[in-house]
Amino acid sequence: MGFIPSQTHNIRPVMVAVSRHLSRNRFLASSRCYHSLQQIQQLTFLPFSEQQRQKKLLESRLVSLLHSCNDVNQIRQVHAHLIRKGLDQCSFVLAKLIRMLTKFNVSMDPYPRLIFYQVQHPNPFLWTALIRGYSLHGLFSESIVLYKCMRREGTGPVSFTFSALFKACTAALDVNSGRQIHCQTISIGGFESNLYVSNTLIDMYVKCGYPECGHRVFDEMPVRDVISWTSLIVAYAKNGDMEAAAELFDGLPEKDMVAWTAMVTGYAQNGRPKEALRLFERMQDVGAETDEVTLVGVISACAQLGALKYASWVRDIAEQAGLGPPWNVVIGSALIDMYCKCGSVVDAYQVFEGMTERNVFSYSAMILGFAVHGQAVSAMKLFSDMAETETRPNRVTFIGVLTACSHAGMVEQGRCLFSSMKEVYGIEPSADHYTCMVDILGRAGHLEEAHNLIKSMPIERHGGVWGALLGACRIHKNPDLAEIVASHLFELEPDAIGNYVLLSNINASAGRWDDVSRVRKLMRMRGLRKNPGCSWMETEDGVIHEFFAGDMTHPKSTEIKQALEDLLERLKLDGYKPNLSSVVYDVSDEEKERLLMSHSEKLALVFGLMTTSPGSTIRIMKNLRMCEDCHSVICGASRIMSMEIIVRDNMRFHHFHDGLCSCGNFW
C-alpha cells in the first residue's frame, strides 16, 4: 500500500537541501513575502517557552503566506522555509500546503504525497487534504483506498473527510461506495447530523440517480439550509417530477436565486412554459436576483409559448440586469431563438445586429430562424457572411442551412451543402443531417432518391429520418411507399401516435379505407390516442387564449362560431371552396365541412380578428401541422381583412399577407 506513511520515507535531508536552493529565489525579494519570512525567522531565536506560546502565531503567518502565493514555485519556497524552521511535522500547516497545491492543479504524484509521507503522525485534516486532492484530480478509487488506510492506522475522520469522499463518489457515479461510506457516518456516530456532510450525501444520491435516497437523508436531517432543499428541487426537476419539486419549493423557508432558477428552468425544460412564466413573475415580485441561467430558462419558456409580449418583458429585465444582448452572447443567442419562435424574425435580427460579439451559436440561431420563417435567401447570405468572419460552422449551423433549402425547394444547393460538411469542414453528417437531406429530396418529389439515401446511410437510422420520408409520401400521395416507411417507424417508435395518424391520413387521401381501418385498429390495440389539435394566441393585453379542435368551451364561443360562419361566407363569395380532402374520415361532404369548421386554428383566427386592433398582426401557435383547408382560409382572411397573420405549426412559420403565404404553398 504505497499510501501508508512510513519511517522509510525520510526525505528531510533532501528537502533541507532543496530549501537552501529555493531560499535564494526571487520570490523572497518581494517586500511582503520577505518581511513575513523575516518575522518567522526571528521567532526561532526566542526562548523555548516563548516559542511554544508563539506557535499558533507562527502557523497562522505561514498559512497567510501560503495564501499569498501566486504559483507553485512560491509554494515550494514557503515549504522549504517551513522545513528549515522545524515545522515539517506540523499537520495543520502541511494540510494547508497540500490544499494550495491542489488549487494550482499540481499532480498528486509525487510532490503532495511526499509532503504527506514525511509526517510520522498525520492528523485527520492532513489525511483529508490528501483524500480531497485525489478526488479533485479524478483519482476517485485512490481517495477511497486512502480513507481505508486512514481507518486502519487508527485515525478518526472529520466531517470534511466524509464530504470529500462523497464528492469523489459523486464524480465517479459510484453509489455503492457512497452507501458504504454513508453507513460509516452512522456507525462512527455524530456525522449523520452534520449539515455539510448531509448536503454532500444528498448531492451524491441525487447525481447518481437515486433522488428518493437523497430525500430520505433530507427527511432525517435535524437542521437544513437552502442547499439541502435546492439539491432535491433540482433533482426532481431534472427527472420531470415538477409536482415533487414544487412541494419542496413551497416548503422552503427562504428562497434564494438558485432555488427560483431551478424551478423556472425545470418548468421550461419539462414543457410547462406557462408555469415557468408565472413563477418568474413571482420571482420578480419578491425582488429575487436574476442571473444568466434564470434568464435562459424563462427565454426558453417564452419561445415555447410564442408569447411576444412576454418576450419583450424578459428582454427588458435582461438589459436592466446588465445581461442584455449587446454584451452577453449567451443571452443574445437565446433571445434570437426566442424572437424567431415567437414569430418576429425582425426583432431577432435586430438583436443579432446589435450584438458586439457573435459566435457560432448566435449565427446558427439566426440562420435557423430565417429558415423556419421561409427566408431561405437571407439564411444562405448569413451563412456566407459567417464564413467571411472566419467563424467555423458547426452541426447546428448545417441543420439551419439545410432546413432553409428544404422549405424553399433548393435541392441542388442542399446537395452541395451536404457534401461540403465532410469535404470542406470535416463534419461527419449525423442522422439529423440525413433527415434534412431526405426532407429536401422528398418535398421536391425525389422519393426514390430519398429512400436510397436512407438505405445507404453509414450510421444508425432513427425515427426522424423515416418520418421525413413519410411526410414526403403524404405530400406526393404515395401510399405504397408510405406503408414500407411506416413499418420501420412502427418498429422504431411503437408508441409515437403521429406516425399512425399520418399513415392513416395518407391512406384516407387515397381512398384506401380498409387500410385506414387497419391502422386505426392497430392504434386501439396499442392503446394510442390522437393528440387533439390545439392552437393558442396572445391578445394585445398579454393574455394567452387556448383553443382545442371541436371544443366550444371558450367564454366567447357563441360569438366565435357566428363570426367564423360570417367569415367563411365572405370567403366563399371571394372564391373559397372547402378542401374536403383535409378530412380523413369516411363521412358525408356536409359532415366534412362541419368538421373543418371546428379546427383549432380557425377558432383562434376568428378570436384574433375579434380582439386585435386594425393594422396589428395576429400571431397563432399550433401544436400540429396546419391542414390545407385552414391554410386556404387564413390566406383569404389576410386579403379580405387587410391584416398580417402569422401561424407557427409544428413544421415552420407561415406569414400570410394580402392573400399570399411566405411558404409559397410548399410546406
Residues 61 and 40 both lie in one domain: yes
Residues 648 and 552 both lie in one domain: yes
Task: Please report the pLDDT score of residue 109 as a whole number.
Answer: 64
d(CA 641, CA 581): 26
Confidence of residue 28 (pLDDT cuts 50, 70, 90): very low
d(CA 365, CA 51): 67
d(CA 102, CA 110): 13
Residues 599 and 497 both lie in one domain: no
Higher pLDDT, 556 or 3: 556
Residues 540 and 644 both lie in one domain: yes
Q: Which of 477, 500, 525 is the last residue of a domain?
A: 525
Between the CA of residue 377 and those of 355, 373, 411, 620, what are the distances in Å?
22, 11, 14, 25
Residues 553 and 631 both lie in one domain: yes
State which residues form the domain around 19: 1-103
With respect to residue 4, please indicate whether it lies within any of the assigned structural domains: yes
With respect to residue 220, please indicate whether it lies within any of the assigned structural domains: no
Residues 618 and 559 both lie in one domain: yes
With respect to residue 391, please indicate whether it lies within any of the assigned structural domains: no
Locate 4 and state its grid cell. 501508508
Residues 498 and 578 both lie in one domain: no
Residues 539 and 519 both lie in one domain: no
With respect to residue 319, please indicate whether it lies within any of the assigned structural domains: no
- Is the model's pLDDT at 68 over the cut of 60? yes
Higher pLDDT, 116 or 13: 116
Q: Which of 40, 71, 103 is the last residue of a domain?
A: 103
Q: How many domains does the chain have?
A: 3
CB 410 within 8 Å of CB 404 = yes
Residues 557 and 657 both lie in one domain: yes
With respect to residue 358, please indicate whether it lies within any of the assigned structural domains: no
Q: How many CA atoms lie within 13 A of 88 on its CB side?
A: 21
- Is the model's pLDDT at 43 over the cut of 90? no
Tens of pLDDT, residue by residue over 432-470, are: 999 999 999 999 999 999 999 999 999 999 999 999 999
Q: Which of 79, 103, 127 is the last residue of a domain?
A: 103
Residues 585 and 500 both lie in one domain: no
Confidence of residue 131 (pLDDT cuts 50, 70, 90): confident
To 10 degrees, what angle do helices 55-67 and 31-43 make? 160
d(CA 653, CA 667): 10
Q: What is the mean pLDDT of residues 36-60?
A: 57
CB 321 within 8 Å of CB 288 = no
With respect to residue 326, please indicate whether it lies within any of the assigned structural domains: no
Q: Are strands 644-648 and 617-622 parallel, antiparallel or unpaired?
A: parallel
Tens of pLDDT, residue by residue over 376-389, are: 999 999 999 998 99
- Is the model's pLDDT at 497 over the cut of 70? yes
DSSP 541-587: TS-EEEEETT---STTHHHHHHHHHHHHHHHHHTT----GGG--S--
With respect to residue 415, please indicate whether it lies within any of the assigned structural domains: no
Residues 6 and 43 both lie in one domain: yes
**CATH number of the domain enclosing 490:** 1.25.40.10
- Is the model's pLDDT at 117 over the cut of 90? no
- Is the model's pLDDT at 615 over the cut of 80? yes
CB 19 within 8 Å of CB 80 = yes
Q: What is the mean pLDDT of residues 520-547?
A: 88
Q: Identify the CA nearest to 376 among candidates 666, 24, 106.
A: 666
Q: What is the mean pLDDT of residues 246-258?
A: 91
Confidence of residue 588 (pLDDT cuts 50, 70, 90): confident
Residues 25 and 87 both lie in one domain: yes
With respect to residue 221, please indicate whether it lies within any of the assigned structural domains: no
